[in-house]
Amino acid sequence: MDSIIQTYQLTKTFKNEEIIEPLDFTLRKGEICALIGKNGAGKSTFFKMLAGQLMPTTGDIQLFGKSGKKIGKSKKRMGFMIETPEFFPDFTATQNLEYFRIQRGVTEKKRIYEVLQIVDLANQKKKRFKDYSMGMKQRLGIALCLLSSPDCLVLDEPINGLDAEGIMEIRKLLLKLNQEKQITILVSSHILTELQLLATRFVFLKNGVIVDDLSKQTLDEKSKKQIHLKVDDVAKAARLLEQGYADIQYKILPDHLITIQNHVEEGGEINRLLIDNEVFVMEFRMEALNLEEYFLGLVEGNEK
């Protein structure tokens, strides 16, 4: 698969403090990759290096296979929204984008209408930016990213501060850009539950270090429901489970606990099987693994 972004041993140090430790990362064509970490984990620093707003201390960045002096041309194929863009408050969306179109040397004037259509702001012709909702402002920021018809978007916290409706609008927009326009997306957030609905890959950053890198399939596997049992005789319970269900998937934990990963919908029958065979069930419950807690465990701690 073609790589869009590739970093090799990328580091960033401020005043002798290493914000990004040697970081190897690859973004492949077609992905929606979520970069997840608490505030201060190094997400924005990493994005600013990709955008050329900060120079790496050491290491190398490749965009579309180009690095060094050749990277400039590749950057034109990227759209960055690292901080909220500074729009003119008294301008409409069209007026704001016309200013940036001229500034950025985008020749086709009709591109403004096209991007406003994509982000669903084409019908807001007279509304001035200062009267926009937060969600509309974020969508205009994405429209600005799209002005030069990029192949890849890098978005830093695009859903931060949005209400539920605004978050849903941004999610639908990013999915549309990825699926209909084939735009690869690297997006950061600390809101895991929302990113689960959007991303195809999840990279977790802590203190400038990647601590986990999972596909959506792996993440979904981790979030499946399971049966949680506490019994007086673990060995007998395990034997009964294996006799009753040939393909049973279970784990024996300390303190007489057993977790069962499949046959979850047959929980009642499993409970009855144990009771009928004189296994005392002290606790029986269904639970989904709490991904927020699990992954906050990965990324919490003393952030730089």
Among 31-35, 64-68, 236-240, 260-264, where is mean pLDDT lowest?
A: 260-264
251 has which bridge partners?
259
pLDDT for 304: 39
- Provide CB contacts within 8 A for 137, sequence distance 6+: 84, 87, 129
* Residue range 93-102, pLDDT digits in tens: 999 999 999 9
How many CB atoms within 10 Å of residue 182? Answer: 10
pLDDT for 248: 92
Q: Which CATH superfamily groups domain 3-220?
A: P-loop containing nucleotide triphosphate hydrolases (3.40.50.300)
- CA gap 289, 220 in Å, rounded: 10
Among 31-35, 202-206, 276-280, where is mean pLDDT lowest?
A: 202-206
164-180 helix and 134-146 helix, angle to the nearest 10 degrees: 20
- Provide the CB-side half-sphere exposure for 31 (13 A, CA): 22
* Residue range 123-160, pLDDT digits in tens: 998 999 999 999 999 999 999 999 999 999 999 999 88
According to DSSP H, which parts of the chain are helical? 43-51, 71-75, 93-104, 110-118, 134-146, 164-180, 192-196, 216-222, 234-244, 267-276, 291-299
User: With 0-12 CB in 10 A as exposed, 13-18 as middle and 19+ as buried, what is 2?
Assistant: exposed
Q: Which CATH superfamily groups domain 224-288?
A: ACT domain (3.30.70.260)
* Per-domain boundaries in the chain: 3-220, 224-288
- The two tokens of residue 38 are 């608490």
* Residue range 200-240, pLDDT digits in tens: 999 988 889 999 898 988 877 766 778 889 999 999 999 99
* Residue range 183-200, pLDDT digits in tens: 999 999 877 778 888 999
Whether this prediction's pTM lies above 0.85 is answered by no
pLDDT for 297: 61
Pairing of strands 17-28, 78-81: unpaired
How many CB atoms within 10 Å of residue 213? Answer: 13
- CA gap 177, 118 in Å, rounded: 8
For the chain, percent of residues with pLDDT exceeding 90: 68
- CA gap 227, 273 in Å, rounded: 14
What does 272-283 look like in DSSP terms, one character per residue? HHHHHTT--EEE
Q: Is the pLDDT of residue 12 over 90?
A: yes
pLDDT for 1: 55
pLDDT for 133: 92
